[in-house]
Structure 1
Amino acid sequence: MRIDPYSLELFISVIEEGSIARAASRSHIAPSALSRRIADLEAAIGVALLIRSPSGVQPTEAGRHAYASARAIHGRLEDMAREVQSMSGQIAGIVRLHANASAIVGFLPERLTTFKARYPLAGIALTEQISDEVIRACLDDRADVGISASGKTPAGLDSWHFADDPLMVVLPPGHELAQADNLSFAEVTRFPLVALQAGGSLDQTLKEHADAARLPLNVTVTVNSFDAQCRMVEAGLGIGIVPTSAASAFAGSRNFVRLPLRESWGSGRTLRVHAPRKSSRLKAVQALIDTLIDSKG
């Protein structure tokens, strides 16, 4: 039986995408070539791994087991390559970085540019996730480095300050609160809100403080990105509470008024870098951490 790592990588993509076509696009390979690779993999193993239909693909029972094993094998191969590259004395290899949306739109691009300029042989595999999932990925060792808005650092992780990112209120210019210098949370909750994805750190923070203050949240629409949130505010569907990074990126035009949220839990919001606690780290991982926590870039 001969099973090559590339076929396993393609199989993983097919399962995660649920489609031969989407997996082919993700892996930059022709769908027909990818399909042949999967057929060869099934022939080598001797069982069907996929249930194919016009709407996509699903794993068989054997396929689910194969996917879990393939992920583990692929991870070990990546670890081996990174460790060998690290032993060469050069800062090289791929660093797995998971980050929340506000880090990605606000502060990360410039610091990654600095990192790439300093260490051209090193690469970044960046995954956007909500803050809780960033923490989980670091704890599970699926991420070498994470950036989140989580205020708690679980045992098993090291953590450093990354950036201050206080909360702001974004409003259309004609809104009745637009002339204020800053706004309390109680004032904001009197009006319809455009909310961001349920389950994220910002969503959890607003719900926790609304519950504590016994303030109802009048959510008129929920969206999955800061740009969509600001677009809905611009259209007059409500007002939004967003990090300063997002307000600068998506609400920087004259179509918006941006006001600080007066509460200490809003003005004190920060982003933090996390990494699995280890006695030693790969050179590229440590180099990325050092670059991220260096506010001078």
Structure 2
Amino acid sequence: MRIDPYSLELFIAVVEEGSIARAASRSHIAASALSRRIADLEAAIGVALLIRSPSGVQLTEAGQHAYSSARSIHGQLESMAREVQSMSGQIAGVVRLHANASAIVGFLPERLTLFKTRYPLVEIALTEQISDEVIRACLDDRADVGISASTKAHAGLDSWRFVDDPLMVVLPPDHELAQADSLSFAEVTRFALVALQAGGSLDQTLKEHADAARMPLNVTVTVNSFDAQCRMVEAGLGIGIVPTSAASAFAGSRNFVRVPLRETWGSGRCLHVHAPRKSSRLKAVQALIDTLIDTLIDEG
């Protein structure tokens, strides 16, 4: 039986995407070629791994076991390659970075540009996740470095403060609150809100404080990104509460007014860098952590 690592990687992509076509697009391979690879893998193992239908694919019972094993094997091969690269004396290889949306839109582009200037041989595999998923990926060792808005201490992780990212209220210029110097949460909740995806750290924060104050949230529409949230505000569907990073990235035109949220939990919001706690780290991973922290120090 001969099973090559690339076929396992493609099999994992198919399972995660739920579709051969989407997995092919993600893996930059023709769908027909990917399908043949999966068929060859099934032939090598001797059992069907996938149930194919016009709507996508599902795992067979054997496929579920194969998927779990494939992920483990693929992870071990990646770790082996990265450890060997780290021993070469050069800072090179791949660093798996998971980060929340506000870090990606507001702070990471410049930080990663600096990092790539310092370490051109390192590839950053960046994945956007909500903060809870960033933490989970670090704890599961699926991410080497994470950036989140989580304020909880987690056993098994080292964490460092990254940047301040206080909350702002985004409003159309003609809104009756637009001239305020700052706004309380109670003032904001009197109006219709454009909310961000359920389950994210910002969504959880707003719901927790609304419940604590017994103030209902009048949500008119929920979206999955900061740019969509700001576009909905621009269209007059409501007002939004967003991190300063997102307000700067997506609400910089004259169609928006940005007003600070006058709450300790809003003004004190910051992002943190996380990494799995280990006795030693790959050189490229440590270099990224050091660069992120050094950048903060350099900026005062």
Say whether the fold is shared (TM-score over 0.5): yes
Q: By how many angstroms is 1:293 displaced?
A: 1.4
Could you state the TM-score of these two structures normalised by the residue count of structure 2? 0.98
C-alpha RMSD of the superposition? 0.9
The unaligned stretches of length 5 or more in structure 1 are: none
**What is the CA–CA distance in structure 1 between the aligned matches of 2:64 and 2:285, rounded to whole Å?**
31
**What is the CA–CA distance in structure 2 between the aligned matches of 1:276 and 1:153, rounded to whole Å?**
13
Q: By how many angstroms is 1:59 displaced?
A: 1.1
Q: Which moved more, 1:211-220 or 1:174-183?
A: 211-220
**What is the CA–CA distance in structure 2 between the aligned matches of 1:205 and 1:55, rounded to whole Å?**
37
**What is the CA–CA distance in structure 2 between the aligned matches of 1:32 and 1:143, rounded to whole Å?**
31
**What is the CA–CA distance in structure 1 between the aligned matches of 2:162 and 2:76, rounded to whole Å?**
29
Structure 1, residues 78-134: CA drift from partner, whole Å, max 9, x if none? 000000000111101100100000000000011011111111111111111000111
Structure 1, residues 132-156: CA drift from partner, whole Å, max 9, x if none? 1111111111110000000112111
**What is the CA–CA distance in structure 1 between the aligned matches of 2:293 and 2:201, rounded to whole Å?**
21
Q: By how many angstroms is 1:214 displaced?
A: 1.4
**What is the CA–CA distance in structure 1 between the aligned matches of 2:118 and 2:277, rounded to whole Å?**
24
The unaligned stretches of length 5 or more in structure 2 are: none
Find the counterpart in structure 2 of residue 152 from structure 1.
152
2:206 paired with 1:206: yes
Q: By how many angstroms is 1:54 displaced?
A: 1.4
Q: By how many angstroms is 1:55 displaced?
A: 1.5
Find the counterpart in structure 2 of residue 13 from structure 1.
13
Structure 1, residues 246-283: CA drift from partner, whole Å, max 9, x if none? 00011110000100001011011000000011111000
**What is the CA–CA distance in structure 1 between the aligned matches of 2:198 and 2:56, rounded to whole Å?**
28
SS of the residue 2:221 aligns to: strand
Q: By how many angstroms is 1:27 displaced?
A: 0.7
Could you state the TM-score of these two structures normalised by the residue count of structure 1? 0.99
Q: Which moved more, 1:213-222 or 1:254-263?
A: 213-222
**What is the CA–CA distance in structure 2 between the aligned matches of 1:294 and 1:219, rounded to whole Å?**
40
Q: Which moved more, 1:231-240 or 1:209-218?
A: 209-218
SS of the residue 2:68 aligns to: helix
Find the counterpart in structure 2 of residue 100 from structure 1.
100
**How many positions carry a matched residue from both structures?**
297
Identity of aligned residues (%): 90
SS of the residue 2:294 aligns to: coil
Paired residues for 1:49-60 under 5 Å:
49-60=49-60
Q: By how many angstroms is 1:57 displaced?
A: 1.3
Q: By how many angstroms is 1:19 displaced?
A: 1.1
SS of the residue 2:23 aligns to: helix
SS of the residue 1:94 aligns to: strand
Q: By how many angstroms is 1:212 displaced?
A: 1.3
**What is the CA–CA distance in structure 2 between the aligned matches of 1:20 and 1:268, rounded to whole Å?**
45
**What is the CA–CA distance in structure 2 between the aligned matches of 1:54 and 1:180, rounded to whole Å?**
54
**What is the CA–CA distance in structure 2 between the aligned matches of 1:156 and 1:118, rounded to whole Å?**
29
